[in-house]
Amino acid sequence: MKRSIRKSFRTGALSMVLLLAASASALAKNSGTVTLDRDVVLRGTTLPAGHYVVRWTTHSPQATVEFARAHKVVFSTEGRFEDRGRKYDSDMIVYETAADGAVTISEIRFAGSSQVLVFNQ
């Protein structure tokens, strides 16, 4: 009886580890990290310079995008994904400067992906 319980426990523990690994892998595909080297405006909201986790939920090609710091969502907006046909070697943020001097994010490119997260202002 003890042997059966141990075997069940090991099988359950292994299943949990595999499930967690698969979940982490799935989450990694819907998030990335970015560092804003300056304050930026995105859809009328100023995001201070710093490190952010960017998470998204796609609605093909539209996406709901969240910017989080210290495990707290600080801004949520809409964006869309576009395929540029080539994978990028590194993470990049494409900025635009408006006539009034405000710096905005127009797109985020993630290393290893040809999908670009685009924001319309």
Assessment of whether the complete model's pTM goes beyond 0.75: no
Instruction: Report the C-alpha gap between 17 and 88 in whole angstroms.
Output: 32
Q: In Å, what is the CA distance from 23 to each residue of 17, 19, 84, 113, 116?
A: 10, 6, 27, 20, 23
Task: Please tell me the total number of residues recorded for the chain in this structure.
Answer: 121
Please report which confidence band the pLDDT of residue 6 belongs to, taking 50, 70 and 90 as the band edges: low
User: Which tens digit of pLDDT belongs to each residue from 16-67?
Assistant: 434 444 444 344 479 999 999 999 999 989 999 999 999 999 988 899 999 9
